[in-house]
Amino acid sequence: MSKNLPDIATIASALANSTKLTILDSLMDGRGHTLLELAKSSNVAPQTASYHLKKFIEANWVRIEKSGRFHYFFLENEQVAQLIELFSPVSLESQTVSMKQAIETDHIRHFRSCYDHMAGYVGREITEALITHNFLSENNHELQITASGELFFENQLNIDMIQLRQKKRQFITSCLDWSERQYHLGGALGNALYQFFQDQYFVLPHKNIKRALSLTPNGTRFLKETLDLSL
C-alpha cells in the first residue's frame, strides 16, 4: 500500500478481531488500564493482550505511561475512539442472553463515556439542551459554539477557552452516538465539559459496568437549574 494512502487494512483488522475490539472498548472510558486488567476484560492471556497493545502503540492508537512499578495504557486517538463508538460490541442489534447483560446494556445506552466525553441518552440530552439555550448551534450535523456559549463555558463553568483551543486536537466535534443515532458533543470542548462534571462530582463511573456513568443528585440539580434539563 502506498505510504500516501490511509492504512485501512490496520483499521479493518482491528475492527474484525473481537479481542482487539474488546481491548479498545475497555480503553474507551478514558482511564488508564494495566495489562492484566485488559487481558482479564478480554478473556485472553496477558501475552496476547500485550501483543495487540504493542501493535496499537506502533499505530499511535494507544500510549503507555509508567507509574511506579505499573504500566498504564490509554487510548490516544480520538478518530479511533469514534470508530469504536460506531462499532461498539454492545450494539442495538445485539441479542441479550441474560438479565445481567440486558441491565448492563440499558445502563450503557442511558449514560456512558465515549473516550473522553459524555454519550448515551444523557450525553445527547445535554448536547440538545446546550443547543436549545443557544450555547451550541447545529447545522448539517456539525456542532459549533456560539458567542453566548463562549461566555457560558468561560464564566459559568470556568473553562479556559483560549487554552482549550491551543490543544493539539479538534476544538469541537460532532460524534455520532451508536445508541441514540444522533450526534453528541465531542472534541476538546466535549472533554472539558466531561472533566467539569467529574471535578464537581456531578457524574461518577459505574462500579461494575465499564464505561457506564451515573449522574449524582448534585449533577441532576445542576442540569435542572442551569440548562432546565430534567433527567
Tens-digit pLDDT profile for residues 84-98:
776 664 444 445 556
- Given this model, what pLDDT does residue 8 score? 61
Condensed to tens digits (0 to 9), the pLDDT of residues 128-161 reads 999 999 999 999 889 999 999 999 999 999 999 9
Q: Which residues belong to CATH 1.10.10.10 in the chain?
A: 8-77
Q: Look at residues 164, 221, 166, 167 and name the one whose alpha carbon lies nearest to residue 197.
A: 221
- List, in sequence order, the alpha helices (H) in 5-77: 8-16, 18-26, 35-42, 46-58
Q: What is the pTM of this model?
A: 0.74
Cβ count near 151 (within 10 Å): 12
Q: Is the pLDDT of residue 47 over 60?
A: yes
| Structural element, H or E, at residue 150 | helix 147-151
* Mean pLDDT score across all residues of the chain: 86
Q: What are the b/e assignments for 185-200, b being 16+ CB within 10 Å?
A: bbbbbbbbbbebbbee
**Contacts of residue 139, Cβ cutoff 8 Å, sequence gap at least 6:** none
**Contacts of residue 186, Cβ cutoff 8 Å, sequence gap at least 6:** 78, 82, 114, 115, 117, 172, 173, 174, 175
In this structure, are residues 19 and 48 in contact, taking their beta carbons and an 8 Å threshold? yes
Q: Class assignment of domain 8-77?
A: mainly alpha
Instruction: Out of 63-67, 175-179, 194-198, give the one with best mean pLDDT.
Output: 194-198
CA separation for the pair 159, 163 (Å, rounded): 9
Q: Is the pLDDT of residue 103 over 80?
A: no
- Given this model, what pLDDT does residue 7 score? 57
Q: Is the pLDDT of residue 198 over 80?
A: yes
Query: Could you tell me how many residues make up the chain?
Result: 231
Instruction: Out of 89-98, 110-119, 157-166, give the one with best mean pLDDT.
Output: 157-166
Q: Sorting pLDDT into bands at 50, 70 and 90, what band is 1?
A: very low
Cβ count near 156 (within 10 Å): 11
Q: Sorting pLDDT into bands at 50, 70 and 90, what band is 207?
A: confident
Compute φ and ψ for 57, nearest 5 degrees: -65, -40
Name the 3-class secondary structure at 91: coil
Across the range 162-182, mean pLDDT stands at 90
Across the range 41-54, mean pLDDT stands at 92
In this structure, are residues 9 and 1 in contact, taking their beta carbons and an 8 Å threshold? yes
Q: Is the pLDDT of residue 6 over 50?
A: no
Q: Look at residues 106, 113, 74 and name the one whose alpha carbon lies nearest to residue 90.
A: 106
Q: Sorting pLDDT into bands at 50, 70 and 90, what band is 49?
A: very high
Name the 3-class secondary structure at 66: strand
Name the 3-class secondary structure at 75: strand
